[in-house]
A and B are shown apart, each in its own frame.
Chain A
Amino acid sequence: MPTSNCSTRSASGLALRAVADTLPLCIAVIPWGILTGALAIQIGMSPLQAQLMSLLVFAGAAQLSGMTLIASAAPLGAIFASTFVISSRHLLYSVVFRQHVTQLSRSLKVIMAFILTDEMFAVSEAHTKRSGQFSALFALVSGFSFYVIWNVATLIGILIGDTFKDLDSLGLDFAIAATFIAMTFGELRRFPVFIAVLASGCLSVLLKPIFTDSYIVIAALAGMLAAYVLGQEGET
């Protein structure tokens, strides 16, 4: 069955490519996963609760913010509002992915949504652009690779617990910055992308002190709008 062998090979090749493309992001997020696990223990969560947070919520920024609020004994409403605002950028990803997932079964849609992160979205969109078509297999493998690494890193943090209280002062956030630059600057020669990066970057820095939970979404939407309006001439 040469055709079957060929498609199996191409599927495994695609899966390997998805893992390879997601690898830099996995490396960058390990310190944050460890920090998330350690912080959960430090604020009084049980190891099971700490791990379930990463297994079920699976959203780094929302988890860190939520745990900070839990530690300060904030009401549930404040925790939920913060979670919604911080993770509302996923609504954008959901709109973009909608066209790709309409043909999938409901269970696959649920799985795809569950593992839809900044990282999976960016890697998958880059692959779609490169290959000319969306691959559900690529997106699922990318998302699951990230899910596994995030949860293993959280587990390490849970085991470390109180040992590394100054983990966030080591400059580990640099890896996040380097990874996201690597994922965006390759396309900076396209004028609208340049505008999107410039506008959202400047606005996020300016807005962060004012809108601590929502600055990412506001700056990103403004950057997208600027790219849409100013970039019309340059795009075909």
Chain B
Amino acid sequence: MWWAITGMALITFFNRYAFFADFVRYSPGAKVKRFLSYSSYAVLTAIWAPIVFSVDTQTGFTHAGADYLIGVSVAAALSLLRVPSIVVVLTSAAVFFGIRFVI
């Protein structure tokens, strides 16, 4: 167990520190910077999308339930209107848990 924790800690730190090290000389040019500028949008979406949607061999694209669909729709609509993130999270979570546990 101790080896697992130590190894995992070293691996996650390596991935985070890799390009900070002084001996790494690589510096991204303008094109690479533009490519990398989309990283947070792409990674965050790749994390949340499978929480709500999935693929089924029988039905194709499917979803986690009406509560998820309505909740993320509310979050998406409020975000597009540039409502502050904390309001988006609290409002959509209230709608989601309201549908899930009250209705």
Residues of A with Cβ closer than 8 Å to B? Answer: 20-21, 23-24, 27-28, 45, 49, 52-53, 56-59, 61-63, 66, 70, 76, 79-80, 83-84, 87-99, 101, 106, 109-110, 112-114, 116, 118, 121-122, 125-126, 171, 173-189, 192-193, 196-197, 199-206, 208-209, 215-217, 219-221, 223-225, 227-228, 231, 235
Total number of B residues with any Cβ neighbor in A under 8 Å: 69
Task: Report Cα–Cα, A34/B50, bound state, in Å.
Answer: 21
Residue of B nearest to A221 (CB): B42
Task: Report Cα–Cα, A224/B37, bound state, in Å.
Answer: 8
Contact among A57, A177, A188, A201 for B75, CB-based, below 8 A: A177
The 13 sampled A-B contact pairs (Cβ below 8 Å) are A24-B89, A56-B8, A57-B5, A90-B15, A94-B19, A118-B43, A171-B68, A177-B52, A197-B45, A199-B42, A202-B49, A204-B49, A221-B42
Given pairs A98-B19, A205-B49, 14 additional interface contacts (CB within 8 A): A20-B86, A24-B85, A91-B19, A93-B39, A126-B40, A174-B68, A176-B47, A177-B51, A180-B47, A182-B89, A183-B40, A188-B80, A204-B46, A216-B43
Residue of B nearest to A205 (CB): B53
What chain A residues lie within 8 Å of B61 (beta carbons)?
Answer: 205
Residues of B with Cβ closer than 8 Å to A? Answer: 1-9, 11-13, 15-20, 22, 24, 26-28, 31-55, 61, 67-68, 71-72, 75-76, 78-80, 82, 85-86, 88-90, 92-93, 96-97, 100
Determine if A113 and B13 form an interchain contact, defined as CB atoms under 8 angstroms apart: yes
What chain A residues lie within 8 Å of B44 (beta carbons)?
Answer: 118, 122, 180, 183-184
Determine if A171 and B53 form an interchain contact, defined as CB atoms under 8 angstroms apart: no
What chain B residues lie within 8 Å of A88 (beta carbons)?
Answer: 15
What chain B residues lie within 8 Å of A27 (beta carbons)?
Answer: 86, 89-90
Task: Report Cα–Cα, A215/B47, bound state, in Å.
Answer: 9
